[in-house]
Structure 1
Amino acid sequence: MTLFTAAEARAELTRLRPVLDELVAVRADAAELAADLASGERTTRLGGLPELKAAQARLDELMTVVQHTGAELKGFAPLLVDFPAELDGVAVLLCWIEGESALTWYHRGDVGFAGRRPIPEDQFAS
């Protein structure tokens, strides 16, 4: 398993932002297509079943890109990306959620999102 420093995780998040932005856009398109198909409607803007299958395939590709970096995609709506790290010998996850402008939180792996705390910069400087 890859362990990140805060600086490494922030750099990786910066590299991933275009992928994450596309993931959000394709997720929205897929949700609209699925809703339209479920209601029997066909949108002229998005299309039908072939377009939904293509959107789902693209979502799979984008999620794989994220996972290949060593980051963990923990949530889909909203997106939640964790970067494994260590703080004082304890396994933690540097945590970013869709809508946040920067990576500034962490939580212990055994506590989860509810245990989020601000990243102590003095301990993750390297």
Structure 2
Amino acid sequence: MEKKWFTLEEANAILPIIRQEINQLQSIKREFEKSFMRLRQVKEHTGKIREGQPDLYFTLESELEFMQIEARTLVQSIHMKGAQLKDLDMGLVDFPSLRDGEEVLLCWRLGEEKIAHWHGLNDGYLGRKLIEENGWPE
């Protein structure tokens, strides 16, 4: 897939979709963790499942597998748009961009209304710089 370069306007325009996908991913992660713990408890505290009962292990494992597929699909959707999911727990997403001919990353975190920060390729989240009102080339 060819690398996408975002203008600030383009990156902000797809934020509603990215925000929704991050929220869905975080929800799936929470449900996955609950179901995984449930499966672990079932395996630790129950012996054989009595005849006639559904296979609880199979059911829980199937649910976990489905959640993994669903999460991978959402992550792939984010990446196919050209965005980079950096940290799911923080809801951190970067958008490749060019600033004065140099590759940089527009940086957005779940909870922020719009993209207001950027950083160099090697600076990471801690190296974020504020985008000034008229200081970003389009």
**TM-score with structure 1 setting the length:** 0.84
Bigger-Rg structure (1/2): 2
Unaligned runs of 5+ in 1: 42-46
The 8 Å contact of residues 7 and 124 in structure 1, kept in 2 or not, is answered as no
Instruction: Please say which of residues 28-37 and 107-116 is displaced more in the overlay.
Output: 28-37
Paired position in structure 2 for 1:101: 113
Paired position in structure 1 for 2:14: 12
Unaligned runs of 5+ in 2: 44-58
Identity, % of aligned positions: 31
Instruction: Please say which of residues 54-63 and 112-121 is displaced more in the overlay.
Output: 112-121
1:111 positional shift: 1.2
Paired position in structure 2 for 1:51: 63
Any idea what SS the aligned residue of 1:93 has?
Answer: strand
**TM-score with structure 2 setting the length:** 0.78
Q: Cα 1:39–1:63, aligned 2, differ >3 Å: closer, same or farther? A: same
Query: Residues 34-58 of structure 1, C-alpha deviation per residue, up to 9 Å, x if partnerless?
Result: 22223337xxxxx722111111110
Paired position in structure 1 for 2:87: 75
Any idea what SS the aligned residue of 1:15 has?
Answer: helix
Distance 1:99 1:40 in 2: 36
Any idea what SS the aligned residue of 1:3 has?
Answer: coil
